[in-house]
Structure 1
Amino acid sequence: MALEKAQRLIDLATYVASRRQGVTIEDIQSRYGSSKRTAQRLLHTLEVQFPDAECEFDEHGRKRWKLRTGALRDLLTLSSDELAALDLSIATLKRNAQDVEAAQLETLREKIIALVPRDRISRIETDHEALLEAQGLAARPGPSARLPPHIASAISTALKASQRLKIVYLSRGATRATARVVEPYGVLIGARRYLVAKAVSDPEGPLRHYVAENIMGAELTGEIFVRDGEFNIDAHAQKAFGMFQNETEIEEIVWKFSRSAADHARSFVFHPAQVLEDQPDGSLIVRFRAAGHLEMCWHLYTWGDKVEVLAPKSLRKMVHRYRRSDFAALP
């Protein structure tokens, strides 16, 4: 078996073994960008080379392949690139004031190292150190307030247990913090971290965003609540361009980037559900649905006069006076 095919087979086996519920043919197609026929051949090879591989039907009648992790124990190892990427991720989390997540990733790193035979670790240490010396993190302006570990821990426990949380929160413009009980649904992480929760005092009201660094205290109440089964944090996040959520402001957004900025704009993900449309004159139109006009204005300003808002009219009016032509570079 050629080396490339062997590496691909091990990668496939690792992928299958890491999925507790197993994988479908569609999963394989998505992961490798292959046709259905190629995915079938890959899974057949998996069954031949790994006798522990199992195939069964799920409740929807779809075939799922599973593999016990023991079958891979002597085939997997850690590469210098993977270890360097892990260290870079830890450093990035620390730079972004996500100390709790950084500590958890460091613990995971220690567990991985402990499971890898010492002779294999020694062989990658030199390359790993060289990669680390060649990598750096650029300074990123903006807020980076740190969330105290005990508050982060209380939020994490409340999310895992669907438990109401009592927080002491300093609202914007308020002179003192006040206590309130909330039902936490998730955490959004961007330039700042926001706790997404429903106020118990307003059960019919919308989900609210609480700036994490403005939470002065947090403690578990011991009260369990029933989460909305249809809530999805990713779908919720996609309602906004940034962090601001306003159901009445959600509408189709249409931006047109000039020919000179089109290639640069094409490399950006302005929104997960964006649609890009190349125009005959070389310009680029970007469409998506979201709220957060003010946050859009902050970003659009950095493009100067290289972008034009086609819709909605309210956003077009907000940015029209601030489309500068004297910016020397694009974002």
Structure 2
Amino acid sequence: MSFSKAQDLVRLAQLAAARRYGISLEEICDEFDVSHRTAQRMTNALEDTFAAVAVEEGDDRKRRWRLVDARLDRLQLRHDTAVEALEIATRGATADGRLRHVRALTDIRDSMLARLPERTRVEADAEAVLSAMYQVTRPGPRVDVVPDILDAIIEALRGPFRLRVRYSRNEAQRVLEPHGVLLGHRTYLAARGPAKAADIRNFRIDLIREAEVLDESFAIEDGFATADYAAQSFGVWQDPEQYGEVVWRFVPEAVERAAGFRFHPRQVLEPQDDGSLIVRFHAAGWLEMAWHLYQWGDKVEVLRPEALRQMVEGYRRSDFDAMP
């Protein structure tokens, strides 16, 4: 948020606190000389930033935004996003083995929650978002996403609420029911499109051009868990036709390096009598597997599936100076 927008938000808070019946969208348009759509975005920011915002409809059937506690020195900022950020940072520190940071981040989170009268709600909202986000980490470049799009998706996950999006440049708007977010070299939204099919599909978030949270709730698919859904793929790509057992054999000289990799969250490692290492897991996404396997040159052999073995067989080089 720019400095001028922050100033406008503080001024809007002052007006909403000072006026007995709050402030309407029309009044915001007049006060700030902005369009009706911009006024709506400003009220959204007011609700996201301050915890003591009441939205009421008057006798004239106009909605007005009012701050319950008029003393700005006692306004309490919302802590939902802060708790989510601390939890995500803690997960990253745990994955990296930075236990000192894990303890520090946990202490900060616990201290923050202990001071909140609405602790139960904040924890519940944060858990709703975090349980739907699963970190899928692979080496290589990442595709950036528009922050406003990701913010809208996170807000929809809190509901959960339906999301109206424009996907790709030329497609018409469609309504999605978001179930989770897969974070990786590309970030995907796992969602159901009720107008087309009941199956959950992946949508590249960098290809979502517009996203609007609708005031329409829906039921999460029974038994759905983002971690289980993510585990069906090697990276982030989902393809039911490719899903099955994957078996790789690493030669003895690559075993120590390969044993330190987490190729899949549910992998099984089987040391062999000849010093080699078998890695087994169930997943789809042969192309993403091929991209990764290329880095190992001829130090890895694909035993299953046959289609993946044929895909990589002609590209197992012997002249790489180092392994991943």
Partner of 1:131: none
Deviation sequence 1:171-206 (CA, Å, 0-9, x none): xxxx524311000001011112111101122233x2
Cα deviation, residue 151, structure 1: 2.1
Cα deviation, residue 144, structure 1: 3.8
1:264 paired with 2:257, answer yes
Q: Distance in 2 between matches of 1:154 and 1:144?
A: 18
Partner of 1:322: 315
| TM-score between both structures, scaled by the size of structure 2 | 0.58
Partner of 1:188: 182
1:244 paired with 2:237, answer yes
Q: CA RMSD in A?
A: 2.9
1:142 paired with 2:141, answer yes
Partner of 2:160: 162
Deviation sequence 1:40-80 (CA, Å, 0-9, x none): xxxxxxxxxxxxxxxxxxxxxxxxxxxxxxxxxxxxxxxxx
Kept in 1: contact 2:146–2:206 (CA 8 A): yes
Deviation sequence 1:3-37 (CA, Å, 0-9, x none): xxxxxxxxxxxxxxxxxxxxxxxxxxxxxxxxxxx
Q: Distance in 1 between matches of 2:194 and 2:176?
A: 5
Cα deviation, residue 113, structure 1: 8.7
Kept in 1: contact 2:157–2:178 (CA 8 A): yes
Whichever residue aligns with residue 155 of structure 2, its letter is T
Deviation sequence 1:113-151 (CA, Å, 0-9, x none): 9999xxxxxxxxxxxxxxxxxxxxxxx741341422x32
1:275 paired with 2:268, answer yes
1:289 paired with 2:288, answer no
Q: Distance in 1 between matches of 2:204 and 2:283?
A: 20
1:197 paired with 2:197, answer no
Whichever residue aligns with residue 161 of structure 1, its letter is G
Specify whether residues 141 and 287 from structure 1 end up closer, same or farther in structure 2 by C-alpha distance, changes over 3 A only.
Answer: closer
Q: Distance in 1 between matches of 2:323 and 2:212?
A: 45
Residues 54-69 of structure 1: pairs in structure 2 closer than 5 A: none
Cα deviation, residue 112, structure 1: 5.3
In structure 2, list runs of 5 or more residues that go unmatched: 1-85, 94-104, 116-138
Whichever residue aligns with residue 252 of structure 1, its letter is E
1:223 paired with 2:216, answer yes
Residues 4-83 of structure 1: pairs in structure 2 closer than 5 A: none
**Helix, strand or coil for the counterpart of 1:145?**
coil
Query: Displaced runs of 4+ in structure 1, greater than 3 A?
Result: 108-116
Q: Distance in 2 between matches of 1:158 and 1:294?
A: 31
Deviation sequence 1:71-96 (CA, Å, 0-9, x none): xxxxxxxxxxxxxxx8x959x89xxx
Whichever residue aligns with residue 279 of structure 1, its letter is Q
1:179 paired with 2:177, answer no
Q: Distance in 1 between matches of 2:89 and 2:151?
A: 21
Count of residue pairs brought into register by the alignment: 204
Match of 1:234 among 220, 227, 230: 227
Cα deviation, residue 111, structure 1: 9.0
Kept in 2: contact 1:241–1:295 (CA 8 A): yes
Specify whether residues 281 and 234 from structure 1 end up closer, same or farther in structure 2 by C-alpha distance, changes over 3 A only.
Answer: same
Residues 76-91 of structure 1: pairs in structure 2 closer than 5 A: 89=89
